[in-house]
Amino acid sequence: MRPSPTARRCGAAGRARGRAGRAVVPVLVAALAAGGVTACSGSGQAPGGAARTPATATATASSVPTSPAVPGTSPTVGGEAMAWANRFCAGLAGWEASVRVQVSRPEPTPSVAGQSPAERLRGEVRARLNGVAEATDQLLSDLRATGVPTTGAGKAVESELSSLAAQLKADVSHLQAMATAPVGGLGELRAQAAEVHDVVAGALTEVQQSVDRIAGLDPGGELSSALASAPMCEVLRSGMASGAPSGSPSG
């Protein structure tokens, strides 16, 4: 029985190695890189004609780690929409908690010896004004960073967020004007504190309505589903369920 062409080549290669060992190495490396060398043993065609897969290659492929899913996202359905919903609701939830505290449970203003009740109340009202304005500025920054979702409703979401941002900017301008306006006695200060409360209550309503409109842009779609199930949106709904903030200024 005559040896196969592959066997003849392998035998010749074995004899050549004895005569030109070092010279063959670069040639073999180049041939392996080009995929043009047929192994003499341990590989080649398995019975039935199927190519064998080296054990090391199988182990390497099975050991490659997959990218971890973002907490609260689905790796298969609406993953990008879920990630966007979490970022979007996280910014709103942080703002909601901050402004609610500013109105309902503000930090007490420091007592100053000889300070009149009106002066103390003025400091408290100014602190509320500044706190709400700063929190709203931060929300506007967060919304810009969040961007729009990569869904079919992206353009409509962008339009809705632009409207919300414009309203929130108007609220900030109103608060800043109040903070610099001259205020007289206790009556005027209490009225100003009540106005801060109304501005915050109105902004909370605006945000809730905006979220509802965004969810309604693709009813039953991946964006509305993400807004309904994202963990941070559940946190936002929990905070919004508290209703308008309570609390009145001291003095």
pLDDT for position 105: 64
pLDDT tens-place string over residues 66-102: 333 344 433 334 689 999 999 999 999 999 999 988 8
The mean-pLDDT minimum among 28-37, 125-134, 149-158, 173-182 falls in: 28-37
In which region does residue 72 sit, left (phi positive, over 0), alpha (psi from -120 to 50) or beta (all else)? Answer: left
Q: Measured between alpha carbons, how far is 52 from 45 in angstroms, rounded to an integer?
A: 6
| Torsion sign (Cα): 35, 40, 45, 51 | negative
Q: What count of other Cβ atoms lies within 10 Å of the Cβ of residue 11?
A: 12
Q: Measured between alpha carbons, how far is 196 from 207 in angstroms, rounded to an integer?
A: 17
Q: Measured between alpha carbons, how far is 15 from 22 in angstroms, rounded to an integer?
A: 14
CB contact at 8 A, 86 and 231: yes
Burial label for 47, CB within 10 Å (0-12, 13-18, 19+), is exposed
Contacts 24+ apart (CB under 8 A), 7-14: 9/38, 9/40, 10/40, 10/41, 13/40
pLDDT-based confidence at residue 36 (cuts at 50, 70, 90): very low
Q: Model-level pTM?
A: 0.63
